[in-house]
Structure 1
Amino acid sequence: MDALVTADLTTGPSGERLTYDERIAEILERYPPDHPVHRTWVKAAPILRECVERTEARLRGDQPR
């Protein structure tokens, strides 16, 4: 699951490589703050960041948390 989340949240809509922060910002820019999609991403962002951090740690050879 972590790898899938990481693939989604480090790839832009056109397939370009983005950082997690760039991808979240890109998603939030498309929806106004009162939109359900915007609010959901804001709530989910910390949990999804943990997925990306675990995947990056695994790729470095670190022990996952």
Structure 2
Amino acid sequence: MKNEELRIKKSGFWLLASGFWLLASGFWLLASGFYILASGFWLLASGFWLLPPTFILHYPLLIIHC
């Protein structure tokens, strides 16, 4: 009986540990997704920085005109 209880406790511990591991990996994936999104916005902003200022000023007018 004692062996059975020990086995159940061990399996519960491993279940809990794997749950925490899945939770941590989910947070890691979420954080890396936000990092990729932020780097995409940074690349977009740096692309606009390279454009001539007249294009940036006239671009909203082009959207409204179309």
TM-score by length of 2: 0.31
> Normalised by the size of structure 1, how large is the TM-score?
0.32
Task: Choose between structure 1 and 2: higher helix proportion.
Answer: 2
- CA radius of gyration, larger in: 2
More relative contact order, 1 or 2 (CA 8 Å, 6+ apart): 1
